[in-house]
A and B are shown apart, each in its own frame.
Chain A
């Protein structure tokens, strides 16, 4: 653009902002300082927990002093039967709940995206409203429902409510995935003699796979991390890792080295997923 300088009457104000007043080098330093502060703020608590987990029992009260490190906290914790069972239970429930939630919501999301009419709009309204109901309002009575069904404190008793937790939100997200896929391919498949079901399985579903993969990873982690449902719906038979940990914190409040070791192991999946599955996580979060 060949705007004459005279057309920019406020030109002299350009340098009046705080950032512009700094020398180019100063701006850079400021940027780096801000970055470092951010890194420190978000990494420090986790770093400190890992450090604590590596300290021997007598060193834990002065984590910032001394250089004695040990892995014995981890082995001590893993000798506790309940911790090992809690890890296994959490793993099984997170995995199965993810698989089932995805299967159940992918069809519901597809329906919301492709079909119009009374049923679709009623269903959409239902999941929209029930998404806002606070967990506590339905997990309290679920305690009785699972007992009446005889599935309290079993895998099924935690799995089914966990699927219910995900239905509203995931149906909504899945609808978004299918909305962004052009339906004309499916119509072409229908004309070529594919059934409606075949068009969904063979044409629409493969295009939605990247989004579904991202959602699965997040779903697995949500279930692994979930606390309130596990707290109310399980007892001694099906300990879950978050509940076991919270009990450590409130009951054995002094053995910080063992507690940290448990917490570090419990955040293992989160670390692995954040480092190796970052692309999927970010894609999943943006939807």
Chain B
């Protein structure tokens, strides 16, 4: 029995648990990347991170905003799309193929596409935008346009995931309640809010929790689209920790930021799960 988990457990300990311990240790020490001397500093890195105006005023709000908006928009779009596709029609396979594509493409490539489509001189969006008579816009040169493109990319990548899982959920729902509701002359909207949503509750809850935890650590898209710029305005927590450790070469500070993030998302994950469970229970 132990033999069955021995390989998995040893890799996990060696390459996840030990690194986390080392990172935790480094977060209390003076540890520049080029010189791991390791003088004990206590909580100084944590104090610096938690009083850094960039971390508090930009990075954390960005991370949470990206998480909330990406998950919420993809969930709503995914629900709508799942409803749209929950019937038999010609060309179903083509639609399914196209919808799967964003999910299969590397986030780095998706971000590259978006960078090109939103290129401020030659991107097709800029061409159409100017053809419509608007003033030229440098999409990635100011905070909110750049941040919106990051959110848009994340939504583009993850809506298909919600769609496919919710579509599978919709297909497995029993037919009888809908027949009964039809006899009672319920409108489609009422059927949706009073039957579909409550019956999909467990699926939605799991999707939202899993996606929120993953959206919190988003790195690839942000790094390729804006590198956290302009002027650190679109940095998220993973980018902040990476930049501290590998660009400012302050490994201790980077580790402290990474651990602060890990603690936040663990607490948030638990709270979210409880909240979702209770809120959706009431709506039933």
Contact = CB atoms under 8 A, between A and B. Distances in A.
Interface of A: 1, 3, 8, 10-11, 13-14, 16-17, 19-20, 31, 34-35, 38-39, 41-46, 48-49, 52, 60-64, 103-105, 107-108, 110-111, 115, 119-120, 123, 126-127, 129-142, 144-145, 160-161, 163-164, 167-168, 171, 221, 224-228, 231-232, 242, 245-246, 249-250, 256, 259-260, 263, 266-267, 270-271, 273-275, 278, 281-282, 285-286
A119 B1 contact: yes
A144 B113 contact: no
26 contacts: A10-B185, A42-B98, A45-B110, A48-B124, A63-B122, A64-B127, A103-B7, A108-B9, A127-B12, A130-B17, A134-B261, A138-B23, A140-B241, A140-B258, A160-B15, A161-B15, A167-B11, A227-B220, A227-B223, A228-B219, A228-B238, A245-B108, A246-B223, A282-B164, A285-B161, A286-B168
A37 to B, nearest CB: 10
Interface SS of A by simple majority: helix
Given A111-B5, A138-B16, A278 B238 contact: no
Nearest to B182: A14
Contacts, number: 267
Nearest to B99: A42
Contacts of A266: 106, 109
Chain B: number of interface residues, binned into ranges:
35 or more
B12 A133 contact: no
B117 A48 contact: yes
Contact of A134 (B2, B98, B238): B238
B88 interface: no
- Sort A-B residue pairs by CB-CB distance and give the 10 closest, nearest first: A225-B106, A164-B15, A134-B217, A270-B104, A111-B4, A141-B23, A108-B8, A141-B19, A45-B113, A137-B258
B22 interface: yes
B238 A136 contact: yes
Interface of B: 1-5, 7-9, 11-12, 14-20, 22-23, 26, 36, 81, 84, 89, 93-117, 119, 121-122, 124, 127, 156, 159-161, 164-165, 168, 183-185, 187-189, 213, 216-217, 219-220, 223-224, 227, 237-238, 241-242, 245-246, 251, 254-255, 258-259, 261-262, 265-266, 269
Contacts of B124: 48, 63-64
B116 to A, nearest CB: 6
Nearest to A162: B15
Contact of B184 (A10, A64, A245, A278): A10
Contacts of B237: 134, 136
Contacts of A60: 122
A167 B8 contact: yes
B180 to A, nearest CB: 10
Q: Which of B95, B101, B213, B224 has the most chain A CB atoms closer than 10 A to its own CB?
A: B101
Contact of A136 (B22, B97, B213, B241): B241
A260 B116 CA distance: 9
A62 B220 contact: no
A46 B160 CA distance: 15
Contact of B113 (A46, A63, A120, A281): A46
Contact of B116 (A34, A131, A160, A256): A256
A132 B98 contact: no
Nearest to A169: B210
A286 B165 contact: yes
Contact of B2 (A119, A171, A227, A242): A119
Contacts of A44: 117
Nearest to B179: A1
Contacts of B217: 134-136
A61 B266 CA distance: 46
Given A48-B113, A136-B219, A138-B20, A17 B188 contact: yes
A42 to B, nearest CB: 5
Q: Which of A46, A129, A232 has the most chain B CB atoms closer than 10 A to its own CB?
A: A46
B220 A49 contact: no
Given A145-B18, A224-B106, A259 B112 contact: yes
A167 B238 contact: no
Given A45-B113, A137-B23, A263-B112, 19 more contacts: A3-B183, A8-B183, A10-B185, A42-B99, A44-B117, A45-B114, A49-B113, A119-B2, A134-B238, A134-B261, A140-B242, A140-B258, A164-B12, A164-B14, A225-B109, A227-B106, A227-B223, A228-B242, A246-B108
B16 A225 contact: no
Contact of A13 (B9, B20, B187): B187
A64 B128 CA distance: 10
Given A35-B84, A35-B95, A160 B219 contact: no
Nearest to A103: B7
A270 B23 CA distance: 34
A281 B99 CA distance: 12
Contacts of B26: 141
B104 to A, nearest CB: 4
A3 B126 CA distance: 60
Contacts of B269: 132
